[in-house]
Each structure stands twice: as structure tokens, then as C-alpha cells.
Structure 1
């Protein structure tokens, strides 16, 4: 009998974290699962740590070369046998009831995708700073359907919003197979957003549960060392590609929303074409980029405002949490 859920864990140099991720999957209240770890050519003992689990539900694969998160996830998708796919990053972890709860909603709503809220946790602490929904500016208290327009409009680069591209939905494997959907290998970051977008424009029934069951760890060294210019180049190519798809072109609201996101990507790319050379002390290159982009200084002023707002929200949430912790200990 096939497992109900395949938990796929792409991993790269996370020997200090992966044991907790695997244990949180194995400790689910839903027992009929498999855990697929794909070590993406790590240079540490990540694979060895994964192999120490004496549980027949755990399978470990090691890539011959580093393929990035998209390549590791695609390999896991091809190896998966479950009815459902659940992604777990190797430095994150699940609450014990997560898969059972999401599966209940999926069955009740006849869903193809079910996401939950997620906790933001600073590395070195188990106490959440906030959640995805709390920081979004949206109030969501009930299970809600997510359509493509809502998905795009609430996930604008560099702006406050729901950012469901960060979520880790439970996904029906047969839906992915039927529509030939995999992660985009050309993207080192942000590939989740475009995979979910691909599902939505192909008719996926996507639901969001307001409770958080996923712990998303902020770790200083976890980000891919890729320039923002290269990252935004990838986002621009992805957006332009989606705008050519018939499923998008037939939806005028979606075209407007995605075109707006593309414009935001381009403005930010122009901004970083000035900022990144400045950081590298390439002043002539930065000046040339600024001259070629007359809107740079207007965008720069907006960026300063956004940075200050994000810093204030983080400071407020952090200190509110510390105050509440002190009260609970009195």
C-alpha cells in the first residue's frame, strides 16, 4: 500500500538541523507517510545524519552534484510514492498534527493544495517571533480558497503582503503528474511561488488554513549566495513566460496583477544594478547604472521607507514577545 503522504526534504549542509526536521516528520500523528531526503551534494555529514534514522519510512538519496533546491525537490518528486506531497526544508520542522490536519481539510474541500500559516523562528530559539499571516496585514480567521489573482496580488516583491510563495502546501501528487508540474531549475530562489502559480492556472483547488503548523527557521547562512540582480532576472523571465500562457492571457485581472509584479521586479532590478556595484566599490559602474535609470532615486526613497517599516515591525514583534514572556514567568 502506498503511503498517504510523501514528505520531501531537500538538504544542503544542514547537519546541525536535519535530524530535527526528519524527527518532526516521523512524529506526525499521521503515521502512513514516507520521508524522502535528497542530499544535494553536501560537503558536511548531512547524509550520514539522515541515514542514522532506523525507520523504514526514511529513504535517503545523494546527488552527484549540487543542483539547487529545485533539482533536489524534483528528484524527490520522481521518487515519491505517496498520494500527497509535503515539502519540508531541512532546517525547519512540523508541529505533530500538521499533516493530519491538512489532509482532513484536503478531503473535506476536495482540494488539490492545502497550506497553513507558518511560524517565524529565529535560529537558536524555539519561540516564534510572528507568523506569516500576522505580518501580512491580512485578517484570515477561517479556511479560505486561494485563487490565482489573490495569490499574485498578495505576494508583491519587497512589499507587505501574505506572500504565500513562502508557504509549504500539501499537494496532490496526481495533480502534479497530470499537468507535468515540477520546480523550475533555472531559479535558485523563489521556485515555490512559480510552482504554486503553475498549479493554480491549471485549475488547482487551493485552500489556506489560518492555523500555523510549520516552523520556518531564519538562519543567517541559509540564503543562497546569489546576487539580487540574478535573482530578479530569474523572476522577470518567469513572469514574462507566464504572461504568454493561455491560462493567464484568458484572465484579464490576472494579466494586470502579474504585469504589475513584473514591473516591480524590473524596478527593483534597476535599483540593485546601482546598489550592488556600490557595495563592491565599483563606483563608475554604479553611477552609469543610475544615469541609465532616471527613476532610481525615487525608487531608492521608497526602499528606505520599506526598510524602516520592516525594521520597526521586527523590533516591535521581538520586544512584544519578550514582554509577554516576562509576564508569563512572573
Structure 2
């Protein structure tokens, strides 16, 4: 499913510190402009922002039409495949060595990219993540609902759900948010950003990153998360507690159990790090249909021609 390396190499201007930021869009309305402007106004300037209209019949382009920044790329998908599939298409097409996750209804502090990149370079890590400020979306002034992912837990259990948990255990839990900055190759070696699921896959992906690489963290709330009705995590059909999400998480937990078995074998010295990566990647890609893989590959080729 990954894009051929020789095709990526054809892209001009490949530099060692560029960032590609992906914004999948579906049903967010005018608030997408806040997400786009927040990235274009980053203090780190060598950044490309790719907004992907994920099959929404009302695309976001009218809200972005007066933005003339050449770093903004607009891309349409004919059908809605979900944010992970849209992100996988961008990941496959980019030549940037760093990849930033940004939801269309959230926004970033102006120093988010520069701080996360600085941590990755200083720590030689594969993924950098920050604290998050959760803000309620209402008719009145924005209200801070919570500040999450500000703490790191290693060996001790924590009563709090949204804390960075660096220790891998048999339990499948949400150990890290996926809204951060990745080394592009760290994602590609695990099979990309799509594992056959429309929700909850990010929880597995960050676990796999923790199994195979190093993670940097800052408690600073560099990312602002919008808590709004109708989002994937809040809607009645796909949100927390929905039947669809519960069934999806059960399926993901089965994959995690198999991944953990390989991770245990690696810890015990029975396989090396490359074998661990290969086995995790195989488990992920086995859950992606040939039709989905073909769609991602063809759309990645189409996007590549725009970059």
C-alpha cells in the first residue's frame, strides 16, 4: 500500500526539515479556516498544508478561496473514506521527512510545529506530542473543558485516561494522542496511516509507534481540541459509547493482542527490531482490502501530480 520510493524521489525541492500537515475535511463548515490559518501562521515556515475534502458534497473551498498562500494545497476525494484513509493518501504522496496531524475542527498554537520539530531533532525520536486544550464549541464564548496529555506515566498506573503512557502492557489502552509530529518514515514502515478502520485506529497506531520507536513529549498545550456535537467522537452513530465504535474497538483489540505477542518476542530477544516492524506492518496491512489499497495508491498518485 505504501507509495513507491522512486516516485517520491521525483518530487522537486526535497529538503531535510520540511513538514507536511494534513487536514482531512468532512462536515466541519467554516471552522476549517481556523485550522488552516493556524498552520499557515506557524513560526516554522517550511510547511505545506494539504486540505483533503473527504467526499463532502459541500467542499470547504469557498471558506478558503481568498487564501493565496502557495503552501496551501487543495485536494478533492470523490467518496468519503474517513480521516485515516485521507491521511494515508497524503502520507504516501509527500516528500517531507516530517508529517503533522491536524483535524479540521481544531487549531494549533503558532509555535506548535517548531517546538515539536525541535523535540524530535533533540531526542532523535520518531514522534513528538504535546498537551491539549479541550475547548467546548458553543454559541457563547469558548470555554476550556479540560487540559489533557500533560503528564507522562512510565511504570505506575494512573487513574487519568488521557495521560501519555510509555510502558507497553498486555492491556490495549489509549496511550498517546495521534495529534502530533511524526517522522514520515516511522509511519511508513508500519504500513502508513490506514488500517481498515474509520474510527479508533489512531489508538492502535500510537501504540505501535511506542513499540517500535521513541516518543517526545511536552506538557505545553500546543494543540487546541474542539469539543463539538457531530464530530466522529461525539456523534450518536460513531462517537464514544456507540455500537459502531465499540465493535470497531473490539476488532482493533484483537490486532493489538497479536502485536503485543510479537512485541514480547522482541523484548525477550527472540526476534530483532526489523522483524518486529515487519510483523506489525503485516498485521496492519492484512486488515486493508485490496480495493482500499488500490484506491489509496491511485489517489496518492493523483495528489503527487499536484505537489
TM-score normalised to structure 1 length: 0.65
Summarize deviations over 1:4-56 as a string: whole Å, max 9, x none.
11110011022221111000000000001000111111132413324442111
Q: Map of 1:1-330 to 2, 5 A cutoff?
A: 1-2=13-14, 4-124=18-138, 125-133=141-149, 146-149=166-169, 156=173, 163-185=174-196, 187-201=197-211, 203-223=212-232, 224=235, 225-226=237-238, 228-245=242-259, 246-250=261-265
1:82–1:173 CA contact under 8 A, matched in 2: yes
CA apart distance, 1:239: 1.4
Q: Distance in 2 between matches of 1:16 and 1:107?
A: 35
Q: Distance in 1 between matches of 2:192 and 2:243?
A: 26
Unmatched runs of 5 consecutive residues or more in structure 1: 157-162, 254-330
Unmatched runs of 5 consecutive residues or more in structure 2: 1-12, 152-157, 269-307
Q: Secondary structure, in 3 states, of the residue corresponding to 1:72?
A: helix
1:38–1:75 CA contact under 8 A, matched in 2: no
How many positions carry a matched residue from both structures?
240
Superposed CA RMSD = 2.9
Q: Distance in 2 between matches of 1:64 and 1:167?
A: 26
Whose relative contact order is higher, 1 or 2, with alpha carbons under 8 Å and at least 6 apart?
2
CA apart distance, 1:93: 0.2
Larger Rg: 1
Q: Distance in 2 between matches of 1:65 and 1:93?
A: 25
The structure whose residues are more often helix, as a share, is 1
